[in-house]
Amino acid sequence: MRRIISLAIVAAVVATSCSYQTKDFDQLFAGFNEDSLLTAQTSRVWDRNGTLITELRGEQNRTDVDITQVPELVQHAVVAIEDERFYDHSGVDLKAILRAARSNVSAGGIAQGGSTITQQYVGNVFLDRSDQTGSRKIEEIFMARRFEQRYSKDFILGKYLNWVYFGNGAYGVEAAAREYFGPPSCERATSIDQPDDRDCLKVTELTVVQAALIAGLIQAPSSFNPYRNYSSALERRDLVLGRMYANEYITEEEYEEALTEPIELVEDVPLLEQRYSAAYFVEDVKQWFLDNPAFGPTRQARTQLLFEGGLDIHTTVDLDLQADAEAAIATILRDDGVNPDAAAVVIGTTPADDGQILAMVGGRDFFGDSEDAKFNFASGSGRQAGSSMKPIGLATALELGIPITRVYPAPMNIEIEEPSICGPTWKVRGGLRAPAVDPATVTEDTPEVIPQATLVRATRSSLNVVFAQLMVDITPRRYIDMAERLGIGEGRLQEVCAAILGTENVNMVEMATVYSTFARGGVRVDPIMVTRITNSDGTSLFESVPNPVTVLSRTIDNQLTWALTNVINFGTGTRAQIDRPAAGKTGTAQNNADAAFVGFTTQRATAVWVGHPEGQIPMTGLYHGGPVQGGTFPAEIWREIMLAAHEGLPAEDFPAPPPSSTTTTLPPLPDSVEVPDLIGRVVDEALLLELEEKSLLLATAEIETNEFVPGTIVNQAPAPFDLIPGGATITVEVAVLPPEPPPEIVPPVIGLTESEAKQVLTGLAFAVDTVFDLDPTASETPPVPGLVWTQSPVSGASIPAGSIITIWVNPIP
């Protein structure tokens, strides 16, 4: 009797649905249109070439797609298993309801829902999901019928496919396709710049077996999760294939072939464990967005838009150059627990990329376990940049009319007594050695010989004593004003004289911005990380517009650039020489606790910092036994990054400086100079200064060897004591340690005979140590003689080639 009554009630409800008045559904739906039914969507971050970097998502991983973009085989798979009469009913399937009602009566509760696709959607979007009462079911039925009167089948199915949960955090069919089968092939292309990157979809690439798998997940995503319940997922997939065949969506041949295919998935990586390239850069992009009131009145609103707005964020970073920059640092500063860390920023200065950050390395590993792993040393609070701050003072002086050829005293040490400008006595070290004087010729009347240097020479040789005097002439206030005009953040520098020597903290984005201003002939363009952002519907949300500002005249900038080319060509930055004209400046903090190299060509500006993340720890003895300075690790890293950054770009010359700035700068070169003996010495600033005083240049080449102390000169040409003309170059070979051989994977040899195991291991360049001992765990008594029963290291371990592997062998009687 209960069964008959239940069936009668259901039939009556459906039959009289047009007059059901418990809710004013027309009024309810009137407030909803297609826009108001939008769901939270995943945003995506792209590199400059259209390569996907990562996705930004809130609680739901979702990417909405239009129903016209969903292949019919995917639509058919879902309809076949969830609502096979979807195209025939008007929102409610009476047969399904009656079938569910019979099941529920037998079960004494709600065992089956019998809900159509339309019912599932409206019941979860408009009604209380936790309400499982009969009245709620009746409301769902009436709402489904009204919904179908308002909207087309395609609209309803499209909304459903974007809303429904497929497990593993994936909402909607596109997110499910990516979650289980990886990104679409178009995202792996090298150059995509589509008007709407949402046309690059994984769902369009799904095969019939893949479509059947994700369709089968809808009923119970956890129970049919293919990562955790493979057999259940396979059985469910095959059931979907069967319904597709029964409904004539696939042929018998397609059905039989599909049944033979296994489930193939991408690796299941939890969201919090997912790694991606340019992570420091992406983090800065997120913070830039969240701090920008143009994207919402509150930070909460901006957060929701960023993580749920389905945005396409097109950035300036080049993932290929990013990889090259990371590789340069990893190669030069091996992660051995002793070497310092590094940060680097590359900014473009050509019309195609002007002001755009092309690469950013904020540290060794954003996803590492150290406490400071996520701190960005490229753009954070920064560290001391040392003498790479001196060109700001030089620019200030030139703008004030101080000629670049002005001569200053340059003793080894100086004390500046200018309390109104620099406070108490300022003691500065770092000048030139006085020329040697024959003691026999010295009398009481012999004047003290004090070395002198022009601003050009002081820049090339990084003479602190000269720039300290220059700071007195230009004043700290003018220096700071120039620094901020060139690109240092407002309020970042204290008004102290020592700022010109790089004692204030700055970051590499700021330094690259300053030097990119030099590269443009004195025009500053603020750094750009994002070129454009589009909404989920393809409309524009943001587009960057560079705002160039002239800071220096072309004449002043040309003089400054020429002085900085001398640093790389003849001065403290020779290790930064590349295959084209370049200018730059070394920087070393007090006690060698920080080191930097910043430089530029006409097309790129790059800043590199090296130091210990924990704080200002002296880096003595770390560069081939010598101290780390701006002309060592930083210059070498800069060189490798800039070589990669200029790949495919033609070499360009800098504009020539005015003749007045160069003709009186350098003294006449001597006719002949005796070559000094450099064997066994270290290439450092002291050596470079010594050669400069002899009017000689130095070129270095590294030679890999274990026979000499790393960093020492092992050979030179011309030979010691030869006579060569002034201005000639001495080429030296500097010893460096050979790179460590790549690791080898230890193969399994358990169960082999001793000779077989040795043949396998020695074939991979491993040494073998054999221990004859009985296997205490063997089931046979005695154990099989002559067989390897254990090994150390275990198979699969990664160890250097040539390592010793010990094998234990059952003795042969």
In order, the DSSP letters of 228-297 are T-HHHHHHHHHHHHHHHHHTTSS-HHHHHHHHTPPP-------GGG---SSHHHHHHHHHHHHT-GGG-S
How far from each other are the two terminal CA atoms of the chain, in whole angstroms? 86
In order, the DSSP letters of 437-503 are --GGG--TTPPPP--EEEHHHHHHHT-HHHHHHHHHHH-HHHHHHHHHHHTPPTT-S-S-GGGGGT-
Alpha helices in 663-763 (DSSP H): 685-693, 754-763
Give the Cα-Cα-Cα angle 630, 632, 634 (nearest 5 degrees). Answer: 60
Tokens of 508: 């590499």
Q: Select from 567, 511, 563 the least CA-distant residue to 685.
A: 567
- Which residues share a beta bridge with 809? 772, 788
Q: Is 570 within 8 Å of 697 (Cβ atoms)?
A: yes
Provide the sign of the torsion angle of the four alpha carbons 518, 520, 526, 532, taken in this order.
negative
CB neighbour class for 691 (10 Å; exposed up to 12, middle 13-18, buried from 19) = buried
Q: Is the full-model pTM beyond 0.85?
A: no
State residue 710's pLDDT score.
84
In order, the DSSP letters of 414-435 are EEE--HHHH-S-EEEE---PPP
Residue environment code for 402-416, b if the CB has 16+ CB neighbours within 10 A, otherwise e: ebbbbebebbeebeb
Q: Select from 678, 534, 665 the least CA-distant residue to 196.
A: 534
Q: Select from 312, 341, 320, 311 the least CA-distant residue to 277.
A: 320
State residue 22's pLDDT score.
44
Distance, in Å, from the CA atom of 616 to the CA atom of 588, rounded to the nearest integer, reads 12
Mean pLDDT by 10 residues, the chain (813 residues): 46 46 53 57 91 83 88 95 91 72 49 73 77 75 87 92 89 91 70 51 92 94 91 94 94 94 85 80 94 91 89 96 95 88 96 95 87 88 94 96 90 92 92 72 67 90 94 95 96 94 96 97 96 92 93 94 92 91 95 95 97 92 90 95 96 80 56 90 79 79 83 89 85 81 85 92 90 79 84 87 89 83
Strand, coil or helix: 788:
strand
Rounded-to-5 percentages of helix, strand, coil across the chain: 40, 15, 45
Please, which contacts does 24-28 make with residues 24 or more away whose CB atoms are closer than 8 Å? 25/142, 25/143, 25/146, 26/146, 28/126, 28/143
Length of the chain: 813
State residue 447's pLDDT score.
64
State which H helix or E strand residue 808 sits in.
strand 804-809
Q: Is 365 within 8 Å of 490 (Cβ atoms)?
A: no
697-704 and 729-736 beta bridge pairing:
parallel
Q: What is the distance, to the nearest Å, from the Cα of residue 472 to the centroid of all Cα atoms in its chain?
A: 42
Distance, in Å, from the CA atom of 212 to the CA atom of 73, rounded to the nearest integer, reads 9
DSSP code, position 538? S
Distance, in Å, from the CA atom of 261 to the CA atom of 741, rounded to the nearest integer, reads 42
- Side chain identity at 168, as an amino acid letter? N
The count of other CB atoms within 10 Å of the CB of residue 10 is: 21
Strand, coil or helix: 722:
coil
The count of other CB atoms within 10 Å of the CB of residue 433 is: 13
Residue environment code for 369-396, b if the CB has 16+ CB neighbours within 10 A, otherwise e: eeebeebbbbbbebbbbbbbbbbbbbbb
DSSP code, position 109? S
